[in-house]
Structure 1
Amino acid sequence: MASASTAIQMTPSSILVLNTTVPFLPTACHLLFSSTLLQNYRRTMSASEIQESSDVRIAHTLHTKEEEFVHKRRETVFQALQNLKIPCSKNEVPHIALLGSGGGQRAMVALLGSLVQLYEEDLLDCILYLSGVSGSTWCMASLYQEPDWSTKLETVKDKIIERLSGPQVSWGEARTKLKEYHYGKDFFSLTDVWAVMAVITFVKEIDECKLSEQWDHLSKDPFPIYTVVDKQCKQHEDVCVDPWFEITPHEAGYSLSGAFVETSSFGCQFDKGHKIKDQPEMDMLYLQSLCGSCLADGDEIHKFLWDKISEFLHRSSHSEMKNEDPKTPPVDKCHQALMDLADMNLCVLNDQDPSHLDQSLRTTLDDLDGYQLGFPTENMNPADKQAVKHLVNQHTKNVSNHLSRYSSMPDIQILTHIFKCMTSWIWGRHYNFLHNMKDEAVPAALQEGETRDYEDSGLLNNSPYFSVLREERHIDLIISLDFSDGDPFMTVKKAAEMSKKLNLSFPEVNIPSEDVDNPKDFYVFKGKNAPTVIHIPLFNVVNCGGEIDYWRNKYRIVQDPYSAEKIIDLMKVAGKNISNNREKIKEQIQAIIG
């Protein structure tokens, strides 16, 4: 195990700061801060000297409740190792983290299959932490609904399969949830829309449980870590900042900077380290959307969302949209205008001519209140796709701003707000709990601005390595399950590259060139004073034979929800990666103990 914990702690009455000002250094990537910064942000201090803050915690230590959990879970791990006939004393119990990558519903189902097989092979109780990105967090959210799910996984698995292959949530329930998100808090973004129009489609439920209520330190399951990235930090190429953000049952915050707030307070308004305005705690549906909004920078997600918005509008009858004020124009005119506007966006994204929709929209707006502004189709150059997209985006913003004047129509108000979020591309907006702190223990860029935007970690690295590379978690073995598209080694290679820039302990990663297109099912990377990393690509030459491409195409990340048959087949394929390598996993556990 590593040395004693180190910390910098802010209390309500005072802030401890470093005597040395740490400059920001340029970097060529979206990365972070250098090893010098990481070392300078730490100050040796025993756990007994740390005073817990009621608002913001600046510390390179674990939350006290997580420490309590780790102490108890180590007993479970010790017993599991005894059952596996792996020699180990109680003070040698290894810290093992299981990582689930992103990959939409493919990741959700494949992680479930992997965990079920770990359970069957008596390996699940060896896991201390379970950390996920994107689709893997959808699986985690389903599992942790059940207290002590890891002790009864066969039963829990059957319930999850039944739900995932069952009927969709009704449109009425979805509309009600959308209204709750819109009117229930200060910030409404595309993350709320994605939760109701996309996540529900795949998870087939509205999970309103709160993460902080779902867990206590006596739980018999691995400790869950949900991960996202700070969008502003990710986009900083000229300064060193920390984009890695984790959300656990106890606290949420920046993994490497060591800046945290209680999970129940994440989203509340803060100033100078003190909470000044409450916001409702996010529910598990929203958390799954926050973690699982990958592709949030691409055309595919635009198409997907506009298609869902259009479907939502076409399936919502005019009679469902109430007109509270008889003096306002008919609600059906606003509704028709929004339908035409959504379909225009889809036409442009699909390289189709939107002229007929433009004419319908002009007529509707003229009948509504004489509004004359139309989409300048006569000036549109189909060959310049970016210019066309810019035009329709601006047109959408103008029409939405015009229709938002009808605030007495609640449904129209929500819809125009969604349209404006689409034009501004706002995801995961929350109050910044580090706002105005002026604390040298945290990168200055994180303390700027009243709000921060958070999005899917898959947009930076599609596996949650940096949540378990926190020094204070003392991880000895990482088992990385990779369910992502494209290069099956991208996540581990990128983690090694980023760790090197940060001077974090991580083994060298060298992949034989012939394995890139034909990966095997088990890789081990080791380094001096670094955690051992086991990397397992989902589809490989062992469990798929010569049909890797067939399986990748069969289980694409963006497609209709899987049937029960497809879910069971994918779980079996994922499970083979565990059953085929049971003895190899045991060997690596034994090696880290030795």
Structure 2
Amino acid sequence: MEQDGCLSQELITQTSQLGDGTMQLNPDGEQCTSLTKIESSLCYLLTIRVIRARNIHQADVLSQTDCYVSLWLPTASTVKFQTKAIKNCKDPVWNETFYFRIQSRVKNVLELALYDKDIVTQDDHLFTVYFDIAKLSLGEEVFMHFKCDSQRQEELEVGFALDNISGPPETIITNGVLVSRKICCLEVQVVEKKKKEKKSLSKKEFFFKVQGSYEGTQDITLGSDLVFSSSSPAKFHYARYKQPTLDVMLPGKKRPPSLCSPNMELHSIPSGEKMVLAEDKGFGLYVKAEDCPDYLDVRLGFDLCMQEQDFLRKRQNYVAPALKKVLQLEHDLLDHETPVVAIMTTGGGMRSLTALYGSLQGLRKLNVLDCATYLTGLSGTTWTMSNLYRDADWSQKDLDKQISEARKHMTKCKINSLSLEYLKYYKKQLCQRKREGRKTSFIDLWGLVLESLLHDGKDNHRLSDQQRAVDCGQNPLPIYTAVNVKNNYSTLDFKEWVEFTPYEVGLQKYGVFVRAEDFGSEFFMGRLMKKVPESRICFLEGMWSSLFSLNVLYIWNLSHSSEDFWHRWTRDQIDNIEEEPLLPLKLHELQTRLFTPAGPLSSALRSVLTDRLCIAQEHNFLKGFQIHNDYLENTHFRRWKDTVLDTFPNQLTQSDEFLSLVDTGFFINTSIMPLLKPERKVDVILHLNYSAGSQIQALDQTCKYCSEQGILFPRVDLSEEDRKKLKECYLFDGGETPGAPVLLFFPLINDTFQKYKAPGQKRSESEMEDGKVDLYGCCSPYSTYSIQYTEKAYDRLVQLAEYNILNNKDLILQALRTAVARKRQLKK
């Protein structure tokens, strides 16, 4: 085992495989990649003395408050501590001291909650103070007065001291946003001692608990008819420096709620040594702790993974010749002259599935499909994409076969999907997922229904299987999108972009990714704990298009275009508060804030407004990570920092058991965000819009979002006349925003197609009927919720989408020429 601060060979190997650059040793002794560091970092001793409170308002009708303070510092301990309760006193004095071992590189935010103790009902939560430990200076003692209510002159007085602590520094791995800390594996073994006489022995049950560990609680049962028996060890993985304890309940004692002695503080166990925890005439209890290797099974970093970088090099061999041919260039394009072109789609149910086939067929006929490096989708377009990428060479062929196959399923009778035979199949598949350790929901059932609607029988295709379709760079790289949400928050208040490629799944905001085949498995502190079989892609399709995840606020937003009216009911009441003394300002510290709980009526209304009918939940691969002390200064995090909880690190995604994933359309109906990642260097975006209703709304929302986030995006300047009657294509070259991609916007409209069956070919009188495609009328067959088309309706939509691409060849070529010229100019 390596000592703290030393780089293990396994970590070098693992990181090079995952693609974050070459490991090197910094002058200050830190080992790092381009963005991920392995470093030795000191721990400090934090002393907190809860002194007193003043002028606490009366929470009960008939008596003064019975105050106590709860202390919660999840980065240092898994246990919530609390003072004693002082009865019937508005000016309680506690003078109780608590100690925490904190990691200096972690954002440690202490939550001091004041409660009124009640015997009959649940304790009343009066308020919580959030205090950033980064405000404290090493070696100094301060006494803070938190002004909780200026009118009532309520305040809480607490003393703090921060000191060095004995012992070696801790080895951490960090990308500047997340921190993975040192973890240990504890083995607990029970050995039953040999008896003098053989006799039937009753079963003995031992219960063990390490709060905050990956395993939580485990049982060991010794057999009934053995003279001597030794159990298999119970294992616990835990953060070494988070003050963990092993709690044990011996045979004959009652089962938890609270486990019984003996117990042991685990940081006191020497690494690698077997120790006796308890022993009597009948059994011996032994423990052994080992440090886990310093490598991760997730990729921490903001760059592209090695596989995607390799794909880009190979895709260049297709893109450069295709651009030369399309633009009729005399000379081959050099690497630095070749723009990155992306095809971006929006959702829209079966309408978007069908129209995307037509758009791609049009791009292929123009030879532009070979010019594209990326293809992104959400909702219905992910169904088309996952169908296409079953064929390893789909973009190199005519798409007639795929279009014909899709027509067969789009026009077939769907009632069979609800037959008894299929219902039995659905139940069997859901039970299997549950046995694998997944949390199933109606979204999984929806995925199975989609499978029956779009395929013949069971489809064993998986996301990682699509690597075959990109391993030589022969097709654009597919990127599927979703958003991670939180219970009790609207999508406008909390959402985090999640991207899926055949190589990996990740959240760019945190710079954390897992292999596609490991998505859904259980992780702890970046280590793979339990491998779960990779989901079949139908379950991902159900999640990417989870139209059942709507809530009341989303419906309100659709009709009123704003949730502002409801924010007073659905947002936490958080206020910045004064404190004395004023501590020296530090760059990365958080403001001290006060949380006041909502009343019963507000809480009930918030629940009604924000609860979602159903949601897809997958094991959270960020579980156990902690937030870096300087995370708000990280440029990558700041780019995607857009939620109300971003300055509340204890409540961010790393603290959740599951990711809660929904259709991206519940925020903005766009899959563009992965393309705006600077590391992908996208130069041209073909925005294929298949939204219902307003064709410009999603683009306007994207522009607004990018402006607020400081993300480079071209200005969309449409006249009122254009907004009332859209054209088939618009070019926004981004000239006024240096560094922004060129944007080609294709709304799904029926304009010149009504009179032309192909560019330049007018329809005859007998063919005019074929040009009548009612896309959005009240009698339109293309409703987002329609799951069956007639053959005529299907064919007309495919033809319309193809025509709109072919009829705007000149604008597409203009966009590509602009991008090539800019690449050449940039090099000069």
Query: Structure 2 length as normaliser, TM-score?
Result: 0.50
- In structure 2, the CA distance between the partners of 1:78 and 1:284, relative to structure 1 (3 Å rule), is same
Shift in Å, 1:54: 4.9
**Corresponding letter in the other structure for 1:9:** T
Instruction: Check the 8 A contact 2:491/2:667 in 1, yes or no.
Output: no
Q: Give SS of 1:533's match.
A: strand
Q: 1:163 Cα deviation (Å)?
A: 3.6
Checking the alignment, whether the CA contact within 8 Å between 2:406 and 2:454 is kept in structure 1 is no
Q: 1:12 to 1:176 in 2, by over 3 A?
A: farther
Identity %: 27
1:121, distance to aligned residue in structure 2 (A)? 1.5
Offset, 1:538? 0.8
Question: Are 1:114 and 1:571, in contact at CA under 8 Å, matched by a contact in 2?
Answer: yes
Residues 325-474 of structure 1 aligned to structure 2 (within 5 Å): 425-440=613-628, 444=649, 445-474=652-681
- 1:235 offset after TM fit, Å? 3.3
Map of 1:56 onto structure 2 = 298
- Return the letter of the residue paired with 1:98: I
Counterparts of 1:40-189 in structure 2, within 5 Å, are 54-87=296-329, 89-91=333-335, 92-152=337-397, 153-166=399-412, 168=414, 171=419, 172-185=421-434, 186-189=438-441
Question: 1:210 aligned to 2:452?
Answer: no
Rounded to whole Å, the distance in 2 between the matches of 1:143 and 1:427 is: 27
1:235 pairs with 2:496 = no
Tell whether 2:808 aligns with 1:589. no
**Counterpart Cα distance in 2 of 1:583 and 1:176:** 50
- The partner residue of 1:579 within 803, 806, 818 is 806
| 1:294 Cα offset (Å) | 2.6
Q: State the Cα distance separating 1:511 from its structure 2 match.
A: 2.2
Aligned counterpart in structure 2 of residue 252 of structure 1, from 497, 505, 525? 505
Change (3 A) 1:556 1:65: same
**Aligned residue type for 1:57:** R
Q: Deviations over 1:319-350 (max 9, x none)?
A: xxxxxxxxxxxxxxxxxxxxxxxxxxxxxxxx
Q: Distance in 2 between matches of 1:460 and 1:293?
A: 13
> Counterpart of 1:284?
537
Contact 2:685 2:744 in 1 (8 A): yes
CA apart distance, 1:549: 5.7
3-state DSSP class of the match of 1:232?
A: coil
* Letter paired with 1:533: L
Please tell me the residue identity of whatever aligns with 2:702.
Answer: A
* 1:9 equivalenced with 2:263 (yes/no): no
What's the offset of the Cα at 1:178?
Answer: 3.5
Letter in structure 1 aligned against 2:496: P
Q: Answer with 1 or 2: which has the greater Rg.
A: 2
Q: Structure 2 vs 1, CA of residues 13 and 113 (structure 1 numbering), >3 Å: closer, same or farther?
A: farther
Compute the displacement of 1:256 (Å): 3.7
Q: Is the 8 A contact 1:12 1:55 kept in 2?
A: no
Instruction: Say if 1:519 and 1:537, in contact at 8 Å, map to a contact too.
Output: yes
Cα deviations across residues 178-200 of structure 1 (Å, max 9, x unaligned)? 42123323211121121133563
Deviations 1:522-561 (A, max 9, x none): 1122232111111110114333589786555231111241
Once residues 235 and 298 of structure 1 are traced to their aligned partners in structure 2, the CA distance between those partners, rounded to angstroms, is: 10
| Matched residue type, 1:536 | F
Structure 1 residue 167 displacement after superposition: 5.3
Change (3 A) 1:234 1:298: closer
Q: Deviations over 1:115-141 (max 9, x none)?
A: 011111111101100000100001101
Does the C-alpha gap of structure 1 residues 295 and 462 become closer, same or farther in structure 2, counting only changes over 3 Å? farther
Match of 1:191 in 2: 443
SS in 2 for 1:164: helix
Assess if the C-alpha contact under 8 Å between 1:131 and 1:224 holds in 2: yes
Q: Is contact 2:441–2:614 with CA below 8 Å preserved after alignment?
A: yes
Among candidates 735, 746, 753, match of residue 543 of structure 1: 753
Distance in 2, matches of 1:22 and 1:284, equals: 39
Range with greater deviation from structure 2 (537-546 or 451-460): 537-546
The C-alpha deviation readout for 1:206-228, integer Å capped at 9, x for no partner, is 42211112323225111000111
CA distance in 2, matches of 1:274, 1:591: 46
User: Is the contact made by 1:267 and 1:279 (CA closer than 8 Å) also made in structure 2?
Assistant: yes
1:93 Cα offset (Å):
0.8
For the structure 1 residues 180 and 71, does the alpha-carbon distance in structure 2 shift closer, same or farther, using more than 3 Å as the test?
Answer: same
Cα RMSD for the two superposed structures: 3.7
Give me the whole-angstrom Cα distance separating, in 2, the residues matched to 1:491 and 1:289. 22
Matched, 1:297 2:550: yes
Q: 1:70 to 1:438 in 2, by over 3 A?
A: same
8 Å CA contact 1:137–1:291 kept in 2: the answer is yes
> 1:490: how far off?
1.3
Q: Deviations over 1:484-530 (max 9, x none)?
A: 01211111111111111211111112222222332111112223211
Q: Tell me, what secondary structure is at the counterpart of 2:514?
A: strand
Do residues 223 (structure 1) and 477 (structure 2) align?
Answer: yes
Please give the alpha-carbon distance, in whole angstroms, between the structure 2 residues aligned to 1:53 and 1:542.
Answer: 59
User: 2:346 touches 2:352 (CA, 8 Å); kept in 1?
Assistant: yes
**Paired residue total:** 451
What amino acid maps onto 1:231 in structure 2? Answer: V
Once structures 1 and 2 are overlaid, which stretch shifts more, 516-525 or 452-461?
Answer: 516-525
- Distance (whole Å) between structure 2 residues aligned to residue 263 and residue 589 of structure 1: 32
Question: SS state of the match for residue 253, structure 1?
Answer: strand
* Contact 1:7/1:58, CA 8 A, preserved across alignment: no
Amino acid at match of 1:74: Q
In the other structure, the counterpart of 1:29 is none
Scaled by the length of structure 1, what TM-score is found?
0.69
User: For residue 61 of structure 1, what is the amino acid of its counterpart?
Assistant: D
Partner of 1:500: 707
Q: CA deviation at 1:20?
A: 9.2
The runs of 5 or more residues in structure 1 that have no matched partner are 24-38, 43-51, 303-389, 395-422
SS of match in other structure, 1:69: helix
Moved more, 186-195 or 434-443: 434-443
Aligned to 1:382: none
Q: What SS is found at the alignment partner of 1:562?
A: coil
Aligned CA distance change for structure 1 residues 140 and 237 (closer, same or farther; 3 Å): closer
Whole-angstrom CA distance in 2 between matches of 1:477 and 1:113: 20
1:562 corresponding residue in structure 2? 789
Q: Secondary structure at the match of 1:282?
A: coil
Distance in 2 of aligned mates of 1:590 and 1:427: 44
SS at match of 2:467: coil
Distance 1:428 1:288, change over 3 A: same
* C-alpha distance 573-205 of structure 1, shift in aligned 2 (>3 A): farther
Q: Which amino acid aligns with 1:67?
A: Q
- Return the alpha-carbon distance in structure 1 between the equivalents of residues 327 and 726 of structure 2: 31
Gaps of 5+ in 2: 1-19, 22-32, 43-102, 110-174, 179-293, 556-603, 632-636, 638-645, 756-770, 822-828
Q: Which AA in structure 2 matches 1:274?
A: R
TM-superposition CA deviations, 1:392-412 (whole Å, max 9, x none) = x99xxxxxxxxxxxxxxxxxx
Q: Which has the higher contact order (CA 8 A, sep 6+)?
A: 1
- The answer to whether the Cα contact below 8 Å between 2:504 and 2:513 also exists between their aligned partners in 1 is yes
The separation in 2 between residues aligned to 1:20 and 1:250, in whole angstroms, is 30
How far residue 14 of structure 1 moved from its aligned partner, in angstroms, is: 10
SS of residue in 2 equivalent to 1:214: helix
Q: Which has the higher helix share?
A: 1
* Residue 532 in structure 1 maps to residue 759 in structure 2: no
Deviations 1:349-396 (A, max 9, x none): xxxxxxxxxxxxxxxxxxxxxxxxxxxxxxxxxxxxxxxxx9xx99xx
